[in-house]
Amino acid sequence: MRDSLPRPPVRFPPGIAGKRRKPWLRRQAILRRTLREIVDLAPAHLPEVVDLWVASWARTMPEIDFEARRPWLVGRLAELAAADVRRRVAFSETGEAMGFVTLDPANGWLDQIAVGPDFWGCGVAERLLDDARAIAPGRIGLDVNADNSRAVAFYEKQGFVKVGTGANPRSGLPTLILEWRRPT
């Protein structure tokens, strides 16, 4: 008997709707991966930036406990600010922090770059690097773990070349020293 009663129309709010609402969901997903702006890091951005740093590194080197390194990053970002290093954060159209980069305008050293794993491959890392290039004094230098193949591929694609080798001060793992020079 109960099954034969007419059912009221189901109205879902946007975001949890079924197939008929999917265009809206698709648009939201696109906006989430679309860069809106790159701005200087403000204290209010710090929790999100630390979260994305932990997530991106945990994906890159799952054998290391990056959760435990949160305080290290907070301290490092404070040291960089005290040394007049620029700290730039990319935000999506939906207001989410997508990634960040630090660049010393005095010598072009790039100490940190990280993009949240949800935003890998969508061009935001290149946009952050372009932002750093605009701040840099004609060159950018950095070191990268030699076995961080995704990052190395990214830098090579962006015109960096190997200028030396080294070792990570904490892990002892081999690093590559890479450099980009502004074309003259």
Ligand X SMILES: CC(C)(COP(=O)(O)OP(=O)(O)OC[C@H]1O[C@@H](n2cnc3c(N)ncnc32)[C@H](O)[C@@H]1OP(=O)(O)O)[C@@H](O)C(=O)NCCC(=O)NCCS
Q: Which residues bind ligand X (CB under 6 A)?
A: 56-57, 60, 113-115, 120-121, 125-126, 142, 144, 148-151, 153-154, 157
Q: Cβ(58)–Cβ(94) under 8 Å?
A: no
Cβ closest to ligand X, residue 78 vs residue 153:
153
Cβ closest to ligand X, residue 25 vs residue 55:
55
Measured from the CB of residue 127, what is the shortest distance to ligand X in angstroms?
10
Measured from the CB of residue 31, what is the shortest distance to ligand X in angstroms?
18
Cβ closest to ligand X, residue 12 vs residue 163:
163
Cβ closest to ligand X, residue 22 vs residue 30:
30
Measured from the CB of residue 124, what is the shortest distance to ligand X in angstroms?
6
What's the rounded Cα separation, in Å, for the pair 113 and 143? 11
Measured from the CB of residue 103, what is the shortest distance to ligand X in angstroms?
13
What's the rounded Cα separation, in Å, for the pair 115 and 1? 56
Beta carbons within 8 Å of 73's beta carbon, 6+ residues apart:
50, 53, 54, 112
What's the rounded Cα separation, in Å, for the pair 11 and 130? 45
Measured from the CB of residue 141, what is the shortest distance to ligand X in angstroms?
11
What's the rounded Cα separation, in Å, for the pair 98 and 76? 19
Q: Cβ(115)–Cβ(88) under 8 Å?
A: no
Cβ closest to ligand X, residue 21 vs residue 120:
120
Sign of CA dihedral 131, 136, 141, 142: negative
Beta bridge partners of 161: 179
